[in-house]
Chains A and B, each alone.
Chain A
């Protein structure tokens, strides 16, 4: 890989990623041309509802989509200048768990129930030992347990002896054991209670700062995004609809879907008799609308929105928004 390429591309650069699943002879368009970029030490929040394609994107980066039925049809995923989608499986295996690791949503199913938690951490370290590296995997696993706030004496216990929050901390210890450059966190706190969520988010934040890790945080919780992220991408039906810094997206949400999403959350500071849901349902991913995927639910949609795929427009504050009626809506709503 030429050196100049390394310097030009962001640390993680996803270009025009397209992923499809085949189910019952029908093609599910899960990810439709997604561009994302992330620098070292930064956090990008990927926000969207169930089925929007968030987890599929993370799994595509790691290339752990199911062998049968799922296919990366196009695009590039560059990490540190190297296109991961072109790597041999052997080389990819060296990257997984080492340069890139993932925290899965459900700590109850992400751990092996018949292996001690310590061994599960040590396994990752052991697998990625370089030639001549004399790190003791067991010692490193104990160190990781202490880092995530679990006494090292509990190395020999099994997942069922841990509470949900502690299990998630073990999952985090596994993910961070090899000091990855990129952390993919897929709803890392969704299964946890708020007081434990606060502990876990703090822990991830501290560790990231210490090791300058880049993080892609997948979530549906706008509050978590507000606390943790630098940039935000809003995804709907496999397409990024709005993309900017946290300040831009939270202060000036521009796409009708983003506006709707903010409006649907019960307000903690105001009393409102009725909530403002987004009418309708997400589109069928086997049969997406021709134009804007959100147009069937959008109160502002016109024929222009339904004709052809919408390109990206720049909002007045300079972030990306995939809406051709953006200007007209802003005028109408003031």
Chain B
């Protein structure tokens, strides 16, 4: 079956005074219908930019994007608008991604109006349906965002993203601004909606316990590149890339009898502006050698498990 989303050698560079910033650099993957791809990495690694580039909020620098097998990389005008209906995004911050001067219902119905496909009556019906779908009380129809807590606001963002029945939704850190008890409510909602509507998600987050819970496959990004990609369970059971290992070991465990043995990484992310051709993690990597100064290729080490590291056999 054709995957819903497929990207090939996708690149997004931003021009900066210091040279091109490689936000997304040569990323290749696909997501099957109804599945969730988790994208993890530290701030500045390009995970949000990747999501935004796929749905054309940024124009890609190079590479190809396929939606349902159709190349949508260079679409313009009306065709682009039609393709965009199928791809939506839920933003991180429910406080800044909703217009504070619009009522909840007018925020939810805006995509319906813009599409121009629905009559007034249909818009009203569909808005009510969407609000009940995400669990917002009918009485809040005319409320403004400031009257709502973070969890409810995020539900409004979800309703708006689902208004036009998309196939593919980029969830860009949708729960990181929420408290744990509310976070669980929203994660359950996202999962239920996926099952009911057969949605395909790309779930961007820095929270490893959340990504483990929600994803089928996981991509680990470091400075614009995917360093490891494999099924979610396998990543946690058998991480292969040195960065993934360090990332997983840094998660503070709630098990007080088995405190995590942390591999403390030295240094921090280096600049993604004009990066050197070799492995971008080499500067912090305890296993780095001269071979790491060459460009690294993505290798399929076992079925469905991709790693970008030339020393993987020595390391493991």
Note all chain A residues with C-beta closer than 8 A to B183: 264, 277
Cα distance A227–B149 in the bound complex, in angstroms: 30
Note all chain B residues with C-beta closer than 8 A to A262: 254
Cα distance A227–B255 in the bound complex, in angstroms: 9
Could you mark each residue 268-285 of chain A with 1 if its beta carbon is under 8 Å from any beta carbon of chain B, else 0? 110111111111010000
Residue of B150, B185, B247, B254 near A223 (CB, 8 A) is B254
Question: Restricting to B150-185, which residues have a CB under 8 Å from any CB of A?
Answer: 150-151, 179-185
Could you mark each residue 219-254 of chain A with 1 if its beta carbon is under 8 Å from any beta carbon of chain B, else 0? 011111011000000000000000000110011000
**In the complex, how many angstroms separate the beta carbon of A249 from the nearest chain B beta carbon?**
10
With A163-B268, A195-B247, A268-B251 given, is the CB distance from A277 to B256 under 8 Å?
A: no
Note all chain B residues with C-beta closer than 8 A to A271: 233
Cα distance A52–B72 in the bound complex, in angstroms: 48
**In the complex, how many angstroms separate the beta carbon of B46 from the nearest chain A beta carbon?**
14
Tell me which of A122-130, A197-205, A298-306 binds B. Answer: A197-205
With A195-B247, A199-B264, A226-B253 given, is the CB distance from A50 to B179 under 8 Å?
A: yes
Note all chain A residues with C-beta closer than 8 A to B213: 266-267, 272, 275
Let me know if A193 and B184 touch, CB within 8 A: no
Note all chain B residues with C-beta closer than 8 A to A197: 250, 252
Let me know if B184 and A223 touch, CB within 8 A: no
Chain A residue with the shortest CB-CB distance to B177: A50
In this assembly, does A85 line the interface, its C-beta being within 8 Å of a C-beta of chain B? no
In this assembly, does B82 line the interface, its C-beta being within 8 Å of a C-beta of chain A? no
Note all chain A residues with C-beta closer than 8 A to B128: none
| A-to-B contact residues, CB < 8 Å | 49-50, 163-166, 193-199, 201-202, 220-224, 226-227, 246-247, 250-251, 260-262, 264-269, 271-279, 281
**In the complex, how many angstroms separate the beta carbon of A252 from the nearest chain B beta carbon?**
12
Note all chain A residues with C-beta closer than 8 A to B208: 194, 268
Chain A residue with the shortest CB-CB distance to B260: A227
In this assembly, does B273 line the interface, its C-beta being within 8 Å of a C-beta of chain A? no
In this assembly, does B274 line the interface, its C-beta being within 8 Å of a C-beta of chain A? no
**Interface size class of chain B, counting residues whose CB lies under 8 Å from the partner chain:** 35 or more
Cα distance A27–B259 in the bound complex, in angstroms: 43
Let me know if A277 and B246 touch, CB within 8 A: no
Note all chain B residues with C-beta closer than 8 A to A272: 213
**In the complex, how many angstroms separate the beta carbon of B236 from the nearest chain A beta carbon?**
7
Chain B residue with the shortest CB-CB distance to A165: B268
Note all chain B residues with C-beta closer than 8 A to A221: 252
**In the complex, how many angstroms separate the beta carbon of B259 from the nearest chain A beta carbon?**
6
Residue of A224, A279, A281 near B252 (CB, 8 A) is A224
In this assembly, does B52 line the interface, its C-beta being within 8 Å of a C-beta of chain A? no
Note all chain B residues with C-beta closer than 8 A to A273: 191
With A195-B265, A220-B179, A277-B188 given, is the CB distance from A265 to B43 under 8 Å?
A: no
Cα distance A242–B248 in the bound complex, in angstroms: 30
Let me know if B179 and A49 touch, CB within 8 A: yes
**In the complex, how many angstroms separate the beta carbon of B264 from the nearest chain A beta carbon?**
6
Question: Restricting to B256-288, which residues have a CB under 8 Å from any CB of A?
Answer: 256, 259-260, 262, 264-265, 268-269
In this assembly, does B42 line the interface, its C-beta being within 8 Å of a C-beta of chain A? yes
In this assembly, does B83 line the interface, its C-beta being within 8 Å of a C-beta of chain A? no
Let me know if A250 and B256 touch, CB within 8 A: yes
**In the complex, how many angstroms separate the beta carbon of B212 from the nearest chain A beta carbon?**
6
Note all chain B residues with C-beta closer than 8 A to A250: 254, 256
Chain B residue with the shortest CB-CB distance to A260: B181
With A195-B42, A268-B251 given, is the CB distance from A261 to B181 under 8 Å?
A: yes
**In the complex, how many angstroms separate the beta carbon of B206 from the nearest chain A beta carbon?**
6
**In the complex, how many angstroms separate the beta carbon of B300 from the nearest chain A beta carbon?**
25
Let me know if B209 and A265 touch, CB within 8 A: yes
**In the complex, how many angstroms separate the beta carbon of B27 from the nearest chain A beta carbon?**
20
17 A-B pairs with CB atoms under 8 Å apart are: A49-B181, A50-B179, A195-B247, A197-B250, A198-B262, A226-B254, A247-B256, A260-B181, A264-B183, A266-B187, A266-B209, A266-B213, A268-B212, A277-B183, A277-B188, A278-B184, A279-B185
Cα distance A260–B182 in the bound complex, in angstroms: 11
In this assembly, does B193 line the interface, its C-beta being within 8 Å of a C-beta of chain A? no
Chain B residue with the shortest CB-CB distance to A50: B179
Cα distance A268–B211 in the bound complex, in angstroms: 10
Could you mark each residue 21-50 of chain B with 1 if its beta carbon is under 8 Å from any beta carbon of chain A, else 0? 000000000000000000000110000000
Let me know if B250 and A194 touch, CB within 8 A: yes
Note all chain B residues with C-beta closer than 8 A to A269: 255
Let me know if B206 and A268 touch, CB within 8 A: no
Note all chain A residues with C-beta closer than 8 A to B268: 163, 165-166, 196
Question: Restricting to B112-170, which residues have a CB under 8 Å from any CB of A?
Answer: 149-151
Note all chain A residues with C-beta closer than 8 A to B182: 277, 281
Let me know if A281 and B209 touch, CB within 8 A: no
- The 10 closest A-B CB pairs, nearest first, are A223-B252, A277-B184, A193-B42, A266-B213, A278-B181, A275-B184, A49-B179, A277-B185, A264-B184, A198-B250
Let me know if B188 and A274 touch, CB within 8 A: yes
Let me know if A226 and B188 touch, CB within 8 A: no
Note all chain A residues with C-beta closer than 8 A to B251: 194, 223, 268
Cα distance A247–B257 in the bound complex, in angstroms: 9
Let me know if B265 and A199 touch, CB within 8 A: yes
**In the complex, how many angstroms separate the beta carbon of B218 from the nearest chain A beta carbon?**
13
Note all chain B residues with C-beta closer than 8 A to A266: 184, 187, 209-210, 212-213
Let me know if A246 and B256 touch, CB within 8 A: yes
